[in-house]
Amino acid sequence: MTMAKKITINDVALAAGVSVTTVSLVLSGKGRISAQTGQRVHNAIEELGFVRNRQASALRGGQTGVIGLIVSDLAQAFYAETTSGLTEALESEGRMVFLLQGGRGGEHMLARLNTLITQGVDGIIIAGSPGEAGAALRARAQEAGIPLIFASRANYPDDNDTVRPDNMLAAQRVTEHLIAQGHQRIAWVGGESSSLIRAERVGGYCATLLKYGLPFHSEWVAECGASQKQAAEAVQSLLSLNPTIDAIVCYNGLTAIGAWFGLLRAGRQTGTGLDRFFEQQVALAAFAEAREQGQYDIPVTWATISGREMGYLLAERILQRVDDPERVLHHAVLPPGLVVAP
Amino acid sequence: MTMAKKITINDVALAAGVSVTTVSLVLSGKGRISAQTGQRVHNAIEELGFVRNRQASALRGGQTGVIGLIVSDLAQAFYAETTSGLTEALESEGRMVFLLQGGRGGEHMLARLNTLITQGVDGIIIAGSPGEAGAALRARAQEAGIPLIFASRANYPDDNDTVRPDNMLAAQRVTEHLIAQGHQRIAWVGGESSSLIRAERVGGYCATLLKYGLPFHSEWVAECGASQKQAAEAVQSLLSLNPTIDAIVCYNGLTAIGAWFGLLRAGRQTGTGLDRFFEQQVALAAFAEAREQGQYDIPVTWATISGREMGYLLAERILQRVDDPERVLHHAVLPPGLVVAP
DNA sequence: TTGAAAGCGATACCAT
DNA sequence: ATGGTATCGCTTTCAA
């Protein structure tokens, strides 16, 4: 219960036989300190187990070592992974993360941003759609002189620093894969037509078909709600109207499972026997934004979009910005992965 | 681009015509301040838009308004939801969250705890198994005089402040539900026998069977790996050996899906037709630790264990502890929910 | 009930 | 290349 004594730069200075100024200088690597003195100070720091008090440092105007993260909704797996990756990367750089939630529609983002600014952070990341608030957020951060980066799953057009996945490329990848496997009549199932993310993916799918001179019919692009059942029904009606379809790109993992059921129902799979589970006539591909793909034992080729990788990328970018706030705007893009069906 | 001027308690004191001491006192609600003076100060705060500088406050020894959260792995849906709930609850109390990850086996937890302590936080929550480090963590926090609460999915026995779900009760609930539905021969599938969480659940299942005078056979408790395929196989062999089983309790959502496939395969469901998807002969129940249950369109009765609720509970407890560190140890338990199959 | 003043720990300006 | 010291914004005795 002995409250461990706090070590300050004064203690270090005393032990090293120098002044606090010198210690501070050594700590920040600023002023020109002789190698010898530097060594003495470092030794003292080591021996005493000194750690710089960020409160004091920040109070005096230095960096806080803290990055603020406002995520729209942590319960969304993709953003949970992003947060995990970001935190991991920043921890390894000796930084910390202030976590706040902005609401799915971004309704609290401005308030949270203000909180972060008054709390004192070195930089801020906003993960998820900021809704209407984008411009206001940007303005406020600039006013406070704090670097701000937006991260999201779709490409909301704006003039901010931005990190986002390459949805189009992901769609191209899976589509090309299906084509390389010999499929020629490829359909799309899933997502709501109002979704920006879906728009980008369908775009990539469509562009790839055309690029390879394959048929593209708008009737082959089916919209459906976010449930297995709806996906299964969409697939069935699609196949009954267009029996020649030999492959389907699905909007996400849930759609893929539903599509699988749909194929079974439509008799386009060999049966329900487990031993024959992995034989099929119509190939499936889908997008995976979380680790889910490892969980489903159905034969699907996945375009993976890793939240974790996005977190790493964000960490890198925000630290660059903190060190050099004057850099020009940058749009970073996260390349997709491809996991071929077994 | 005009850097908004910082408002300090000095400004407030000036505007209100009182001393900084008075303002500080009003802020913290300590010393006895006359209602009139208090009002004047509050008005000034309001007008100037003053917000207390936490760095300075913390430096001088006051509270930081920050709670540290060390979560073993944010990418696990349950803990993501816990974090989301905790953050949400603390935000509404004007607190903030420092987020760190401790590693799935708790390997970094002690280091992270030290980081939090030196950063200055009012309280610390550890979510997930701390592995071997539990006692050391407790000792370190006590030494630093900072309240610490452990939260996890299973009941690792210790003498710490603790919040955890009631796995036994959850198992009792679903088992009782199956019995109330008229099922008499109820089996268990899923999980690895080394799992503490599983142990608690199987215990609840077993106890309930006995309580109702129903048959309990250890051969009816099947272990299996974490995949649909393995669950499906386990169900098939279980049913072929014990054809009279009329209900199955599944370890988790993934197992439930696998079990469903297994039932189909074993011909214990009416067919694969979507229209008949929800007719069944063998009833299923399972535990859900995330929102997943809303996503699967299979007829399963769920015992829900809400990470979000756990987050709320944690927020409440840690704030109590911060205000009153002397309270005795407390083990809080999170009651499960029940979502009956459609 | 309220005020004056001494720090908390680190930084940076101004000397030396 | 180093050292003295005022200062950041707030909390907290101690006095009045």
- Nearest nucleotide (C1') to the CA of residue A55? C9
- Are the CB atoms for B78 and B289 separated by under 8 Å? yes
pLDDT at A3: 53
* A101 neighbourhood in chain B, CB within 8 Å: 84, 87-88, 91
Distance CA A126, CA A275 (A): 46
A267-312 pLDDT, tens digit per residue, is: 765 444 443 444 458 999 999 988 765 567 788 999 999 999 999 9
Burial class (CB in 10 A: 0-12, 13-18, 19+), B6: exposed
Cβ of B96 and A100 within 8 Å? yes
Q: Are domains A66-151+308-334 and A167-304 of this chain identical in fold?
A: yes
Residue from B84, B90, B104 to probe the interface with A (highest A Cβ count within 10 Å): B84
Separation of B31 CA and C5 C1' (Å): 18
Cβ of B297 and A229 within 8 Å? yes
Residue from B50, B53, B55 to probe the interface with A (highest A Cβ count within 10 Å): B55
Q: How many residues does chain A have?
A: 342
- Structure tokens belonging to residue A67: 């990055």
CATH domain A66-151+308-334 topology? Rossmann fold (3.40.50)
Q: Which of B96, B272, B291 sits opposite A265 (nearest CB)?
A: B272
Q: Report CA-CA distances (Å) from A319 to A99, A302, A312.
A: 17, 32, 11
Share of chain B above pLDDT 90, in %: 65
A247-269 pLDDT, tens digit per residue, is: 999 999 989 988 988 888 777 65
pLDDT at A313: 96
Cβ of B115 and A98 within 8 Å? no
A31 CB less than 7 Å from any atom of strand D: yes
pLDDT at B271 over 60: no
pLDDT at B152: 92
Instruction: Give the residue with minimal CA–C1' separation from C7.
Output: B60
- What is the per-residue burial (b if ≥16 Cβ within 10 Å, else e) of B197-230? bbbbbbebbbebbeeeeeeeeeebbbbbebbbbb
Interface of B with A in 285-304 (CB under 8 A): 291, 295-297
Q: Which of A3, A108, A228 sits opposite B145 (nearest CB)?
A: A3
- Structure tokens belonging to residue A21: 């100024």
Judge whether A53 is closer than 8 Å to chain B, CB to CB.
yes
- Are the CB atoms for B84 and B311 separated by under 8 Å? yes
pLDDT at A90: 96
Distance CA B201, CA B197 (A): 6
Cβ of B295 and A254 within 8 Å? yes
- Structure tokens belonging to residue B304: 């829900």
Residue boundaries of the structural domains of chain B: 9-51, 66-151+308-334, 167-304
Cβ of B91 and A101 within 8 Å? yes
Q: Which of A99, A145, A232 sits opposite B97 (nearest CB)?
A: A99
Give residue A1's pLDDT band: very low, low, confident or very high (50, 70, 90).
very low
B281 CB less than 7 Å from any atom of strand D: no
A12-70 pLDDT, tens digit per residue, is: 999 999 999 999 999 988 878 888 899 999 999 999 999 899 899 999 887 899 999 99
Architecture of domain A167-304: 3-Layer(aba) Sandwich (3.40)
Residue from A51, A53, A55 to probe the interface with B (highest B Cβ count within 10 Å): A55
Judge whether B19 is closer than 8 Å to chain A, CB to CB.
no
- Residue in chain A nearest B63 by alpha carbon: A55
Judge whether B312 is closer than 8 Å to chain A, CB to CB.
no
- Nearest nucleotide (C1') to the CA of residue A16? D2
| Average pLDDT of every residue of chain B | 88
What 8-state DSSP symbol labels residue B108? T
Q: Would residue A152 be called left, alpha or beta, if left means φ above 0 and alpha means ψ between -120 and 50 degrees? A: beta
- Structure tokens belonging to residue A81: 């992974």
B136 SS3 class: helix
A325-341 pLDDT, tens digit per residue, is: 777 778 899 999 999 88
Share of chain A above pLDDT 90, in %: 64
Judge whether A80 is closer than 8 Å to chain B, CB to CB.
yes
B34 CB less than 7 Å from any atom of strand C: yes
Cβ of B74 and A84 within 8 Å? yes
- Residue in chain A nearest B99 by alpha carbon: A97
**Pairing outcome for strands A331-334 and B283-288:** unpaired
Judge whether A240 is closer than 8 Å to chain B, CB to CB.
no
pLDDT at A122: 94
Give residue B295's pLDDT band: very low, low, confident or very high (50, 70, 90).
low
Distance CA A290, CA A200 (A): 18
Separation of A18 CA and D3 C1' (Å): 8
pLDDT at A167: 95
Give residue B1's pLDDT band: very low, low, confident or very high (50, 70, 90).
very low
Give residue B270's pLDDT band: very low, low, confident or very high (50, 70, 90).
very low
pLDDT at A268: 67
Cβ of A97 and B98 within 8 Å? yes
A73 phi/psi in degrees, rounded to 5:
-160, 110
The order of strands in the sheet holding A66-71 is A331-334, A162-165, A148-151, A123-127, A66-71, A96-101, B96-101, B66-71, B123-127, B148-151, B162-165, B331-334
| Average pLDDT of every residue of chain A | 88
A89-132 pLDDT, tens digit per residue, is: 999 998 999 999 999 989 999 999 999 998 889 999 999 998 88
Give residue A314's pLDDT band: very low, low, confident or very high (50, 70, 90).
very high
pLDDT at B297: 75
- Nearest nucleotide (C1') to the CA of residue A25? C11
B9 CB less than 7 Å from any atom of strand D: yes
pLDDT at B280 over 70: no
